[in-house]
Amino acid sequence: MMSEIPGYTYGTAAVAASPVTLADFEQMKASVLFGDDDVRYLRTSHDVVKDQVEAILDVWYGFVGSQPHLLASFTAKSDGKPLGDYLGAVRKRFARWILDTARAEYDQTWLDYQHEIGLRHHRAKKNETDGAASTEIVPFRNLFALVFPVTFTLRPFLAKQGHSAEDVERMYAAWVKSCILQVTLWSHPYVKDGDF
């Protein structure tokens, strides 16, 4: 898998343990009302989205590319121009993120990788994975704000295989909850020690 997706280090020794414990994560799940049904509906969504990943990414990249303040995180520090190689490398991992989210195997390995993703958005590790000469950080304010466009634009894709309106809504709700949980985990490096 790593040879297919450069920088995708899920489940490898290159990923440090998350400072968020599984017990902490259970409390977070309770706070967002994420339960077994959500896991089931995420896994149902896997078969729905697996053949639509590139089309989903086209929508998401189109949105980010249309917003200069969001695109700025993928631009060169020197001249502010978008870094095509960087955008392409991130897109491959983003595609895998869609599938990992839908698999809903939210164990310690997954929790550790969420911390790695957070570090890669923060100045702690941004640009290191791809050797990009880009901006130093994805601004914190953009992390949570993107939960809505990412999940809202996913909803039509969830409806493309003839599932009932109720099942589509349950898949959508599970995605919203999962994205809130993930972005909360990604925010850990941004939060003052002891305040998470």
Domain range annotation of the chain:
22-190
Instruction: Give me the tens of pLDDT residue by residue for the chain, a chain 196 residues long.
Output: 445 899 999 999 999 999 999 999 999 999 999 999 999 999 999 999 999 999 999 999 999 999 999 999 999 999 999 999 999 999 999 999 999 999 999 999 999 999 999 999 999 999 999 999 999 999 999 999 999 999 999 999 999 999 999 999 999 999 999 999 999 999 999 999 999 9
CATH code assigned to 22-190 = 1.10.490.10
CA distances to 30, 34, 89, 190 from 41, rounded to whole Å, are 17, 11, 29, 31
Exposure letters 62-82 (e unless 16+ CB within 10 A, then b): eebeeeeebbbbbbeeeeeee
| pTM exceeds cut of 0.85 | yes
Given the structure tokens 């990009």, which residue do they identify?
A: 132
Q: Are 151 and 175 in contact (CB under 8 A)?
A: yes
